[in-house]
Structure 1
Amino acid sequence: MRAAEPVHVWVDLTNSWGPRSEPGVLIGWRKGNLGWEGWVIRVSTYSTGNGSAVHVVQSWIPAPLIRRAATDPPRADISQHKRIGG
C-alpha cells in the first residue's frame, strides 16, 4: 500500500454522485487487478426499521468511486468535482 496524506473524500458505490454519497477519509492507494483503489474509512448510514443509524466501514474502493470533498455532497455532474487518484 502506498500511504497518502489523509484526505477528506466522498465515496459513492452507486457511481451516481448524489444524496447516497458517503463521507470518508482516504488513507492509502494500491494498484489492484482492475486499476487503482483507495483505502477509505467512510461513514455509512443504514435503516434500523425505526429510523437510521451509522457505522464506520474501512475498505478498498475503486478510484473512480472516490472524489475529493468540497463543502457539500457531490452532485451527479461529476465534472464539478476534482478526481483524485491513479
Structure 2
Amino acid sequence: MENLNELYSTARDEFEIAAEETEKKTVYAADDREAAADALNMLKESFAKALKETSPEVSREIQTRVGSRIRELENAVKAMEEMAMED
C-alpha cells in the first residue's frame, strides 16, 4: 500500500507539472504530459498487480483507498491531453 501511495504521489506531481506547462504552452509541455502519462501507467500497473497478488480482503481495501484516486487522476490526464489537442 505504501508503494502505491508513493506512486500516486509521483503521478500526481507529474500531472500538476504537466498541467501547468500545458496551460502556459511551454516547449516542455509535451514532454511533461508524456512523463505524467508514464507515471500514471506505472501506478496503474502496480495497482493491478497489487490487486492480483493480495487476499480478497486486502484487494478490497486497496480498491477502496486507491482505486477512486487513480480514476480521478486518469480523467484529469485525459482532460489535459484533450485541452492540449485543442491548441
For the aligned pair, the TM-score class normalised by the smaller chain equals under 0.3
Give the TM-score, by structure 2 length.
0.24
Q: Where is the helix percentage greater, Structure 1 or Structure 2?
A: 2
Structure with bigger gyration radius: 2
Q: Where is the strand percentage greater, Structure 1 or Structure 2?
A: 1
